[in-house]
Structure 1
Amino acid sequence: MFRISKRMSVIEESPTLATSAKVKEMKEKGKDIISLTVGEPDLETPKEVKDAAVAAILDNRANHYTPTAGIMPLRQAIVDYHKKYDKIEYEASQVIVTEGAKNALYTLFQVILDPGDEVLIPSPYWVSYTEQVKLAEGVNVLVTSTPENQFKVTVADLESKRTERTTALVLNSPNNPTGTVYTKKELEAIGNWAVEHGIIIVADEIYYNLCYNGNEAVSMASISDRIKEQTIIINGVSKSYAMTGWRIGYAIGNKQVISKMIELSSHSTSNPAGPSQYAALAAISGDQKFVTELRETFEKRLNYFYPLVEKIPGFKVTKPQGAFYIFANCKEAAEIAGYSSVSEFALALIEEAQVAVVAGEGFGFSDYIRISYTLEEKQLKEAVNRINQFMEKKTKG
């Protein structure tokens, strides 16, 4: 028998990926499942991006090891992007390119946390934050938000949880799973509070370009020089450019922190995949027309889909401002359908209604489900029809 480390006993499998695996298994068995689970755009990666990767392979530029932190043209393109769109000045030495934004977060937590260090995480939260903090032997301190405040936390909320061991704050705007977008004024208040108490701000801005109906995201580092010095930005190409499979993310910020992240990566991943880096370079340095089209597509889908979800019996929803999820309170719906928990209700939707959603337990809110609207409107409507039929059948008993 093999011995498994203690650190692995404290973490759980990603519920989003676990649900996606279940959906794939059911589809392979011939089930007609509509999956509203994964945070993945259904649009194709732009042709010019794919062409750039192919050209790099054929030119023999992408077939060997690259610098651990990523190829210099890509690191410089990231710096140029933030200067152009956020008016933030960085140097290429303040950037590390990683195997997706998830790896950037993992590496960052390994670098900045010692055993017992506390990390403030607004709840609901993306499923991997808490598990990555555990793997770094940190302590998760959840700061609960409410739908009445659009799932936003305030300085008062954060201060009530702060201790002498508070090391970092994770702030995800636009937010997964709620779609909440913090205003500049709200970010400024939180940023100044973090600076005052020497707390590192981990600004997860992976959905930065996906805001709708007049809402706009503001990069935390753009607010002031003091806040910028205290902030590590996490971002990548997965969501904005429909490049989830290419696995390119990055971290940008304090040079010492980034340097240590590079050191750690040199012993773990060596470097991100070469072809993916050249693809990301084309995406980030391109004209951004695709990003605009993607945003407009998802805004249209949200405005079509949200009113339909709102009318499902027992579903209570707050309209999201960004990302591409609806976070629905389904406690009443579960009770109506005869289930003792929303997790059981979500499982029944997959098995009986053949509509896959992610139970909210993994996001810290057990009465909720997360619904992704990254499919075409025809499929979104069919998903709602199936859920309504499921609810009607359960109600009639």
Structure 2
Amino acid sequence: MPFNLPTTATAPFCPSEVQGTVAVPQGAPLWKRIMQFAGPGLLISIGYMDPGNWATDIEAGSRYGYSLLFIVVLSSLAAIALQCLSMRLGIATGQDLAQLSRSRYSPAVARVQWLLAEVSIIACDLAEVLGGALAFHLLFKCSLTTGVILTAFDTLIVLGLKGKNFRDLEAIILGLIATIGIGYIVQLVLVHPHWPSVMAGLVPSWHAVSAREPLYLSIGILGATVMPHNLYLHSSIVQTRAVKRDSRSIASAIRLSRLDTIVSLVIALLINAAILILAAAAFNATGHNQVTEIEDAYRLLAPIVGTGFAAVLFAITLLASGQSSTFTGTVAGQVIMEGFLKLKIPCWQRRFITRALALIPALIGVQTLGNGAVGTLLVASQVVLSLQLPFALYPLIRMTNDRALMGEFANRLPTRLIAWALFVVITAANLWLVVQTVGWLG
């Protein structure tokens, strides 16, 4: 028998409890309606700037300078397109991707989808554990093992959010994103990038990825950018806005939510680009082209930039990145569990279970591999995410193409072609990444 959820006042993370709770005044000025729809995109954007992205962006900037910057841009554009599909599915149908998968597929298939989605959340949370542990290690000089244990206490943060509504959660995420963004603006000012080279890196170039190593890293950036659980999450949290079920209101909600999605993911794009630019300017330009670990980047920043403030700011933004992903991981877990299984548990229990499952491989890795565990486990977490991605992409594209389900809001032919092209490219790239990684580990 499923657990009973607390009321909305005490459980802001539970999707079904906050559906339609954010009022959108009819006849309000456009700017006010835009502000009311702003928020879900911010929660989604956090998944695109987590420690897994840091690892790939730092290595790309360190080894190849600005030349792979266009890969970050193209990966982010693909993510925007897919998240817009997820958003449209939720608003047009009034159901999320997990609920629709449960109703449209056999119980066995739906259970496999649920299991894979849960694995992706645990893999993503493993990256947050490692990022948070490393931030504690860098800031407070504690061991990585102690840092991993400290990340277990973020369940207390979730408990502290009892009594907050969904808009409060969105405001907290905005504050954390602002911390990350401001931190990188300051760091870029300190390192003085060569902006003409930055502009050149934005131009797509096959030559830049023609060799095996940069191609492998480029696919790693792609794999770290598009997060499978974000597709489930976005289709649910857009329903927190109270939208009338007539065609005109739904169309307006889709347009305003699309704006929220694009703006939020462009912010994530700028932050990911800033990480790569920082690594290129601080490391590649000074001859340090083998910086592949986040900890190495932290230790080299101070002597290269000439001030320890840059390194401290780097660690603070890393901590903010890990903590912000904690919130969205909790919401995504609730969406997936409730959608696939109709199972409702308090958000703190969900947070505790996910974090406990992520702590086990983190502690084992740190104990056996030492400080080298961070890079190895971050790569492993991205490979796990890559394996799960096609199982979320395929039903999303099929459903948004289905006119019987979506009505007039089904994908038009150009959107269908783009969506399937992205599916083929992303799936092939991720499979190649998995094969190459397994070969490398072997």
Relative to the length of structure 1, the TM-score reads 0.29
Give the strand-richer structure, 1 or 2. Answer: 1
Give the helix-richer structure, 1 or 2. Answer: 2
Structure of greater relative contact order (alpha carbons < 8 Å, 6+ residues apart): 2
Relative to the length of structure 2, the TM-score reads 0.27
